[in-house]
Amino acid sequence: MELVCPAGNTTALRTAIDNGADTIYTGLSDATNARHFPGLNFSPDQLAQGISEAHKRGVRVLLAVNTYAQPGGWERWRSAVDQAAALGVDGIILADIGLLDYAARTHPNLPRHLSVQGSATSVEALRFYHECFGIRRAVLPRVLSLAQVQQIAADAPVELEVFGFGSLCIMAEGRCLLSSYATGESPNTAGACSPAGHVRWDETADGTLSSRLNGVLIDRFKAGEKAGYPTLCKGRFTVADRTDHTLEPPTSLNTLDLLPALHRAGITAIKLEGRQRSPGYIRQVVAVWRQAIDRCLAAPDAYTPEPGEQARLSALSEGSQTTLGAYSRSWQ
Ligand code: SF4
């Protein structure tokens, strides 16, 4: 089972390598990937340097080009695929079928992974991507129950990667338009749920902090209350006289408990979310998952997460709480 870790900059990449990543996934500094935030990601030169350092340590590097090419922007997305091939990444993570087709025809030897943004939730969908574009691996969306993941894994024609830890996305990924309603831009087009240029923070004299996305009030925090980045799905809204996290409370996915089941199902790789996270976060999360995967692989039947590991992950989680998300859902 491979540990696939995020890196939003060179320091995070080195930190992930030092703490036991098998594979690092990255993005270029533009809207071609779904973590397009100011100051984040890699220039081609930085990525070349990162790949060289990773390869010397036996670690693979993937490049996410997982937003959808926009009308009039094809050249930018095509160029990102070409750069991935020229830089010698170990695989490219794609969602757009036009780009998958381009990559398969132009760079047939560059391994292609279907991004979670491709939203493939059935064996039939995986077969389509495999037959048409020769994908080697698919990242499953975080909307599937464990039983569904096991069912798909039993017949999947490609390697499967699932999310192990990090921010949750409650929509079928690649199909969320929440941010578009407020800003005209979405993670699928501009690479961010809440593009930073649309975010505004206001603090009043009594210490109350309000977060807005293009003028839409997302949340209001009392003085001293921990304030999260304003994402529409995690905002507090008043519905039927009740003000609460209407769609989803702040929480992080944590599947440490499910490692043996995922291993038995034949899942190839565990992905950690968080290219936007600090190197300090990466250090702790990668170290916990490295230890857990090694213990699980050594003795799957005897494996249980250690309380210290769970406590470390909880402390790093959104709202200081974790969930199994859709994995534990009983309905289909
Ligand atoms: S706004 Fe929320 S539900 Fe939509 S893509 Fe972003 S994280 Fe997912």
Look at residue 172 in the predicted model and tell me its pLDDT: 76
Q: Among 245, 280, 305, identify where a domain stops.
A: 245
316 and 212 within one domain: no
Q: Ligand 1 atom 7: the closest Cα is on which residue? A: 169
Cβ contact 162:140 at 8 Å: yes
CATH of the domain at 287: 3.20.20.60
Domain that holds residue 209: 194-245
Q: Is residue 207 domain-shared with residue 267, that is, in the same domain?
A: no
Residue 248: predicted pLDDT: 86
Q: Is 176 in the pocket of ligand 1 (CB under 6 A)?
A: yes
Q: Are residues 128 and 61 in the same domain?
A: yes
Asked if the structure places residue 181 within a domain, the reply is: no
| Residue 112 falls inside a structural domain | yes
Residues 213 and 104 in one domain: no
Within-domain flag for 179: no
pLDDT of res. 200: 96
Total domains, the chain: 2
Q: What confidence tens digit (pLDDT) does each residue in 229-279 have?
A: 899 999 999 999 999 999 888 889 999 999 999 999 999 999 999 999 999
82 and 67 fall within a common domain: yes
pLDDT of 260: 97
Pocket of ligand 1 contains residue 232 by CB under 6 Å: yes
Other residues' Cβ atoms within 10 Å of the Cβ of residue 314 = 14
187 found inside a domain: no
Residues of the chain with pLDDT below 50 are none
Cα–ligand 1 centroid distance for 88 (angstroms): 31
Among 178, 234, 273, say which to mutate for ligand 1: greatest number of ligand atoms within 8 Å of CB. Answer: 178
Is 132 annotated to bind ligand? no
Q: Which of 67, 179, 185, 213 to mutate to test the pocket of ligand 1 (most atoms within 8 A of CB)?
A: 179
Same domain, yes or no: 21 and 69: yes
C-alpha of residue 175 to centroid of ligand 1, in Å = 9
